[in-house]
């Protein structure tokens, strides 16, 4: 009977894959023809270079000026941030057709891409190499591209003097691609600063969960709580590496959508829940300690839209940690090492 169920399950998977097409990311349309006269501070720099508008690394930056530059870039030129440290939160709110190139730049705060008055942010490209010392938060936004982003901890450089809060892709977000995403040393010490940080990377929502999230390379190291929490539909994660998790505090945590109260405190390397028609090609999980509840937590899902993990590798103490497998899970693992 068990073999028959697996056989039928695989047939359903193959049938569903034939009907699913992953949409391409729609790129922003930018032009250098947009008039920037009112913003110019130093015209020796080319259009789009933030130094032209008075934004320099390692200097105090006006939030009002930064917001005006971001709004100007909507349908305007690609913005260029030269190498250096910027003590800012960068917010893209209800805007479209924005392209920003970071030349190994570091933000002391976070990057937020959200909607405004029911108008989604759309067609946003974050190119180059960007480091972020707090968090990425995305909500009700679509067609986003990230080339190479690292969310890391530097408590001296952070404008909050705290460990980072990871990456949260929240309700209504669709068609998002990361070429390379690293999340290093995400906090979770029980302070209210981390109340909404259940995982270093959390893809979540309520009745409008994210769809079509693609990550070519994902690396998560030293996540105080869960490393990866994944919900939604039609995601593709090609190479996932998780190393060390679950050693933080479960105090002052807000519950996660689509879970029972208290489940968020059962820290895992990867927690895949209500994730339908998703694929993880390669998943490697290592843990130096035995802290954390599970190496992997397989939650519930839609039987006719299974999620596949093609290859799973456990190393160090992750080999000795339990796995949680819900009786109503829709997750199939092809091969373990």
pLDDT tier, 337 (very low <50, low <70, confident <90, very high otherwise): confident
Provide the pLDDT for residue 206: 85
When comparing pLDDT for 5 and 94, which is higher? 94
pLDDT band with cut points at 50, 70 and 90 for residue 16: very low
pLDDT at 257: 87
Residue range 90-105: average pLDDT? 99
In the prediction, which pLDDT does 3 show? 36
Contact 301, 275 (CB under 8 A): yes
Determine the average pLDDT of the residues in 18-24.
69
Q: Is the pTM of this model over 0.75?
A: yes
Tell me the average pLDDT across 195-220.
97
- % pLDDT > 90, the chain: 90
pLDDT value of residue 20: 56
Rounded to the nearest integer, the mean pLDDT of the chain is 94
**Model pLDDT for residues 300-318, shown as the tens digit of each residue:** 999 999 999 999 999 999 9
Chain-centre distance of CA 217, in angstroms?
A: 12
Whether 9 has a pLDDT exceeding 90, the answer reads no
Average pLDDT over residues 76-92: 99
Give the chain's radius of gyration (CA, Å). 21
- Per-residue pLDDT for 5 more than 70? no
Taking 90 as the threshold, does the pLDDT of residue 8 lie above it? no
As a whole number of angstroms, the distance between CA 301 and CA 328 comes to 7
CA atoms within 13 A on the CB side of 300: 4
CA distance 266 to 131: 29
Q: Which residue has the higher pLDDT, 337 or 105?
A: 105
For 2-10, what is the mean pLDDT?
37
3-state SS assignment for residue 124: strand
Output the pLDDT for position 242.
Answer: 99
In sign, the C-alpha dihedral spanning 46, 51, 57, 63 is negative
Those residues whose C-beta lies under 8 Å from the C-beta of residue 249, and which sit 6 or more positions away, are 188, 189, 190, 224
Where helices occur in the chain by DSSP H, the ranges are: 2-19, 63-73
- Domain residues for the domain of 194 are 2-333
The answer on pLDDT for 99 being more than 60 is yes
With bands split at pLDDT 50, 70 and 90, how would you rate the model's confidence at 15? very low
Residue 101 pLDDT greater than 50, yes or no: yes
74-96: average pLDDT: 99
Q: What is the DSSP string of 287-333?
A: ESSS-SSEEEEE-B--TTS-EEEEEEEEEEGGGGS--EE-TTB-EEE
Q: Decide: 270 and 240 in contact? Cβ < 8 Å.
A: yes
**pLDDT given for residue 10 in this prediction:** 47
| Total structural domains within the chain | 1
Task: Place 22 in a pLDDT band, splitting at 50, 70 and 90.
Answer: confident
Across 245-256, average pLDDT: 95
CB-based contact 134:145 (threshold 8 Å): no
Q: Which residues contact 262 (CB under 8 A, 6 or more apart)?
A: 255
| Residue 145 to residue 243: CA distance in whole angstroms | 25
Q: Is the pLDDT of residue 6 over 70?
A: no
- Vertex 282: Cα angle to 278 and 286 (nearest 5): 120
């Amino acid at each position: 009977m068990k073999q028959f169920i697996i056989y039928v399950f695989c047939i359903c998977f193959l049938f569903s894959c034939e009907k699913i097409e992953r949409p391409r990311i729609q790129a922003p349309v930018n032009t250098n023809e947009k008039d920037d006269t009112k913003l110019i501070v130093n015209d020796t720099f080319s259009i789009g270079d933030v130094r032209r508008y008075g934004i320099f690394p390692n200097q105090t930056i006006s939030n009002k000026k930064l917001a005006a530059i971001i709004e100007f870039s909507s349908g305007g030129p690609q913005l260029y941030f030269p190498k250096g440290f910027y003590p800012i939160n960068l917010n893209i709110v209800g805007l479209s057709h924005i392209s920003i190139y970071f030349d190994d730049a570091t933000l002391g705060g976070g990057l937020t891409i959200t909607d405004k008055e029911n108008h989604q942010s759309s067609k946003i490209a974050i190119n180059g190499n960007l480091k972020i010392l707090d968090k990425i938060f995305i909500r009700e936004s679509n067609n986003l591209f990230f080339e190479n982003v690292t969310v890391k901890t530097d408590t001296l450089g952070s404008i909050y003097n705290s460990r980072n809060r990871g990456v949260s892709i929240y309700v209504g977000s669709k068609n998002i691609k990361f070429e390379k995403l690293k999340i290093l040393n995400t906090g979770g010490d029980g302070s209210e600063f981390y109340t909404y940080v259940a995982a270093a990377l959390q893809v979540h929502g309520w009745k409008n969960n994210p769809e079509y999230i693609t990550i070519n390379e994902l690396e998560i190291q030293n996540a105080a709580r869960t490393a990866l929490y994944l919900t939604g539909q039609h995601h593709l994660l090609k190479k996932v590496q998780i190393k060390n998790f679950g050693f933080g505090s479960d105090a002052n945590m807000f519950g996660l959508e689509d879970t029972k109260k208290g489940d968020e405190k059962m820290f895992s390397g990867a927690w895949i829940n209500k994730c339908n028609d998703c694929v993880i090609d390669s998943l490697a999980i290592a843990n130096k300690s035995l802290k954390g509840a599970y190496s992997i937590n397989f939650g519930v899902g839609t039987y006719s839209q299974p999620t596949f993990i093609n290859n799973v590798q456990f190393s160090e103490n992750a080999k000795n940690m339990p796995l949680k497998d819900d009786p109503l899970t829709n997750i199939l693992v092809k091969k373990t090492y």
